[in-house]
Amino acid sequence: MNRAERYFARAEENGGPGHAFLLEGEDPGALLETAGRIARRVLCEKGTGCGTCASCRAALSGNHPDIITVTHEKPDTLSVNEIRRQLVDDMEIRPYRSARKIYLVPDAGKMNPQAQNALLKTLEEPPAYGMILLLADNRNRFLPTVLSRLVVLQADEAESEEDGGEAAGSSRLTGLLRRLQTADAAELAKAASELKAEGVSAEEAFELLTYLWRDELIVKAGGKTKLHFPEAADMLEDWARALSWKDADRIFTAIGEGKAKLKANGSPDVVLEVFLLELRELLRKA
């Protein structure tokens, strides 16, 4: 079971998942298989993806009327008309046999800006029964306004024993960020080393920052989507008031650049320090 599937398993145990998700991974086939298993679990009559109930059997045969896969004719573009016809307009029709109606969107990163904007209102105000699973290899292909309304889940990483430490890692990181505006250069220079000593690598810090900034964009947009880190809501609200949209987009881009530098074997301590310095300066200027 990968991280995305584990998220849905836990969500079902805690009252059910939300309505809009981005499953991120490099293998399109594996993404679609993961999305299919998630859809089957959500609609399963036993709530487990049992594979034996009538709903699961219909899903496995590819004939479940409440699982819709959005397709596109042109190989490199998912157009606004295709999104409107197959998803936005279709979602107004209630489910045929299940409590929910699920849309799988392979190649979602190929949506042009017009298609993404056409989807925005549905993401903001979906019917209670609607669920959207966008599948893409890179979250940076999406407009910030769209991404802020999605829960981003890694679908090509198996859950490890270390995943249980995410809450502790996020607590350590948000603790640092709360002190950011008053931190001096020496403190920031030691930040990566101190986080690592507490079990949070620079790579993990940037992954947590991705989720945290997705929360920031939700708060700034006044969205109602559940936050990944609700314990940081007060800090994010302060930032939302202080930062312009231009600044928010700049930080979102800087997070992606930091992750790219780490993959290119950049010094973890330096990459994180530079990012924190940029964020601190924007907050101080606000």
DSSP state of 129: T
Burial of 67 (0-12, 13-18, 19+ CB in 10 A): buried
Better pLDDT: 234 or 6? 234
pLDDT tens readout for residues 117-166 = 999 989 988 899 999 999 999 888 999 889 888 888 888 655 544 444 45
Q: Does domain 3-154 have CATH number 3.40.50.300?
A: yes
Give the pLDDT score at 88: 96
pLDDT tens readout for residues 197-236 = 766 788 888 888 888 888 888 888 887 666 777 778 888 9
How far out from the chain centre does Cα 247 lie?
Answer: 20
- Ordered by start, the domain boundaries in the chain are 3-154, 165-285
- List the one residue out of 152, 286, 171, 179 whose CA is nearest residue 232: 171
Q: How many residues does the chain have?
A: 286
20-24, strands of its sheet edge to edge: 67-69, 101-105, 130-136, 20-24, 151-154
**Residue 108 contacts residue 22 (beta carbons within 8 Å):** yes
Fold of the domain spanning 165-285: Zinc Finger, Delta Prime; domain 3 (1.20.272)
Give the pLDDT score at 13: 54
The Cβ of residue 179 has, within 10 Å, a number of other Cβ atoms equal to 12
